[in-house]
Amino acid sequence: MIMERFDPPGMLTDLDDAELQAWSDWISEQIDEARAGRPDLYDFDAPRPRFFNQLTTPVGQDTVEKDITWGAFPRLVALDSATDEERWQTADSSRDVQDEYCEWSIDRVGNQIKRVTFTCEGPEYWQFLAAVKPATVLALYRQHVSPTAANNDLFGADGSYDPKNKWNSTTKRGAMHLVQRNNTLGAEIELAGGASNARMRNGVLLTDAHQLILCGAYGQPERHSDPAIGAEVNALARANADITLANPVGIYFAGLSTTGWVTPDNSDPASYWKITRGTAQKPVRAVYEVPAEHGFAVSDIKINGKPIQYGAQIADFITMKLTGVATRLGAANYPPLSGCKRRAAHAHAAAIDVASVIEPRPPRR
């Protein structure tokens, strides 16, 4: 059966029927572009026949959904840090280093952490929402970030929305949606499309996650997320399945593990993790906060014997996910691409803005 339309991430209810259709049209366009690849720019990038659009191609009776998971703490920060203290401090210092599709902001009272807010909402959804319902954007900022948020904090004089506004650009004033340059829905879709071909190099079929991402050039090889996503998608490709992303397309929190956590009153530390946007199965926003009546703060909770002094300590225990779809297993028997992605000899580098190719256009209203 052909799917009627794509839903917004987390099954959010901010949009009316016409707006939902416009959002679906944009997701469909992104999937079609990811399926096509860029053979005009790169050799061994396309075709991508296994990657399909559920609005135009039905799934088969053997369809399965598979969650692909990874850790929320930025691996690039960990690789560049000598100690836990250094990596936690670095990860808390800037949203620009929080590149695993999870970003956070910390509210403190003095030296005590009162609340840590986590988001995995893609910026494209907010660009679209700002274009069609700017009043809703302001209301959501006031609800989730600060009741003092003002229209001119979020929008320029020309009415354009600023994703990295004062309430959504630091690790201290709030986090409404993702702003790190690699944390986009378009990147997620392109990554899945780019990994959907089996690949051979020098006559050998590639199966290693690191080799695959280097050969396919579909992401950052040192992150947690990109190699994990690419490896899982490519395993389905090698099993000759048709592949796509599950509806609604998005990145979600898979959960928080509190193993090794101890609270002052022996209450369950997991109970202070609250989903504040999205559904229980598809959460896009969460807050870790101890209610005032308990008489202690987040910083009074210990993880493996150490008090929580950084939001990054919590991020260590958060798992992210996206959900892939595999269907017609064994039937999508296309030959592997026989080389690694590279700039095509006929591509005119001087005339092409590569960043505009990699970074998706925002949705149209």
pLDDT tens digits for range 3-27: 999 999 999 999 999 999 999 999 9
The pTM of this model reads: 0.93
- Residue tagged 């950084």 (tokens): 310
Q: Is 100 helix (H, G, I), strand (E, B) or coil?
A: coil
* 169-to-186, 262, 264 alpha-carbon distances in Å: 20, 31, 33
pLDDT tens digits for 140-198? 999 999 999 999 999 999 999 999 999 999 999 999 999 999 999 999 999 999 999 99
pLDDT tens digits for 273-284? 999 999 999 999
Query: CB-based contacts of 36: which residues, under 8 Å, 6+ apart?
Result: 46, 47, 48
Query: What's the token pair of residue 335?
Result: 């030959």
* 161-to-17, 95, 137, 255 alpha-carbon distances in Å: 22, 19, 9, 31
| Exposure on the CB side of residue 31, measured as CA atoms within 13 A | 25
The pLDDT value given to residue 346: 75
Query: What's the token pair of residue 114?
Result: 């009162």
Residue 364, pLDDT above cutoff 70: no
- Contact, 319 vs 255, CB < 8 A? yes
**Of all helices (H) and strands (E), which one includes residue 151?**
helix 151-154
Percent of the chain whose pLDDT exceeds 70: 95
Cβ-based burial of 118 (10 A; exposed 0-12, middle 13-18, buried ≥19): buried
The pLDDT value given to residue 353: 40
Q: Is 172 helix (H, G, I), strand (E, B) or coil?
A: coil
Write down the mean pLDDT value for the chain: 94
Q: Sorting pLDDT into bands at 50, 70 and 90, what band is 352?
A: very low
pLDDT tens digits for 90-118? 999 999 999 999 999 999 999 999 999 99
